[in-house]
């Protein structure tokens, strides 16, 4: 075993340990229980709009749901330095809804802000470590979006898992994480999708769609599990890296594009 492979194995073991605490998903309920209200830790949340105040929800507690009117919103950006982020499309709602669950973390200070500028909604979560050691799980940020045509959805998470699922209409989808697993289910950018993580696995489940799609899958250290029939498929494999290219549906020069990449991790592509 050469030095590169030894280093890769060490990274994989470290990743499995670090990411073990990032798999909890938060649940969204329309009415928080009294026990949640009494036991949860307040968060510092500020909401601003370029046109009007959406509503001051400072000192919201775990279980509170904040709503944002997205009638005039065409793009969304979600940024976090450390959290489990879940984005869900929901045809039953008319406004965007988001909920923060702090879990049991006692060594971190969590702050969420939202702002609207030039038709783009930005939701930002920041965590600052108050103690030298944080033994609690990461906070969970869950965002529900109404069904409408969005030009772009961008999710950027420094550390933690990302999940995007169900009934979203978006032209350009961009999801990235420095360290964390990414799962995308029944959602795709109608023009382009870019999914990437430096350290973690990616699972992409295609929606039922007839739009021709060019697929580009690559991993520097890991394997690719492709369960989708591809036209003009090419597969390149070296000692540790893998690349897979091809078309879903009829090959066309103007097909939408799907790029999925990991530096260290596995890719599962299915429908």
Q: How many CB atoms lie within 10 A of CB 158?
A: 17
Mean pLDDT of 180-190: 95
pTM: 0.76
Closest CA to 194 of 177, 212, 169, 211: 177
Helices and strands in the chain: count of H runs, count of E runs = 2, 20
Give me the residue spans of the domains in the chain: 31-176, 201-271
* pLDDT at residue 238 in the model: 84
Q: Are 215 and 251 in contact (CB under 8 A)?
A: no
pLDDT digits (tens, 9 = 90+) for 43-88: 333 333 333 233 323 333 345 688 999 999 999 999 999 999 999 9
């Amino acid at each position: 075993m050469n030095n590169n492979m030894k280093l890769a194995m060490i990274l994989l073991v470290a990743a499995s340990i670090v990411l073990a605490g990032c798999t909890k998903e938060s649940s969204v309920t329309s009415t928080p229980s009294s026990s949640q209200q009494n036991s949860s830790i307040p968060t510092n949340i500020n909401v601003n709009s370029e046109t009007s105040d959406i509503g001051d929800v400072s000192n919201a507690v775990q279980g509170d749901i904040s709503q944002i009117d997205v009638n005039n919103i065409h793009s969304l950006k979600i940024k976090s330095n450390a959290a489990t982020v879940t984005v869900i499309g929901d045809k039953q709602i008319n406004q965007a809804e988001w909920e923060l669950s702090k879990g049991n973390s006692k060594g971190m200070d969590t702050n969420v802000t939202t702002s609207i500028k030039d038709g783009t909604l930005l939701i930002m979560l920041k965590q600052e470590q108050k103690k030298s050691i944080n033994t609690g799980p990461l906070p969970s940020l869950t965002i529900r979006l109404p069904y409408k045509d969005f030009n772009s959805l961008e999710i950027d998470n420094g550390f933690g898992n990302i999940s995007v699922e169900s009934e979203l209409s978006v032209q350009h989808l961009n999801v990235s994480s420095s360290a964390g697993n990414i799962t995308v289910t029944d959602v795709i950018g109608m023009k382009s999708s870019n999914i990437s993580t430096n350290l973690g696995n990616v699972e992409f489940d295609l929606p039922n769609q007839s739009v021709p799609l060019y697929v580009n899958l690559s991993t520097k250290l890991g394997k690719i599990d492709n369960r989708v029939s591809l036209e003009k498929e090419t597969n390149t494999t070296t000692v540790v890296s893998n690349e897979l290219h091809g078309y879903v549906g009829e090959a066309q020069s103007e097909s939408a594009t799907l790029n999925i990449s990991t530096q260290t991790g596995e890719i599962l592509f299915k429908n």
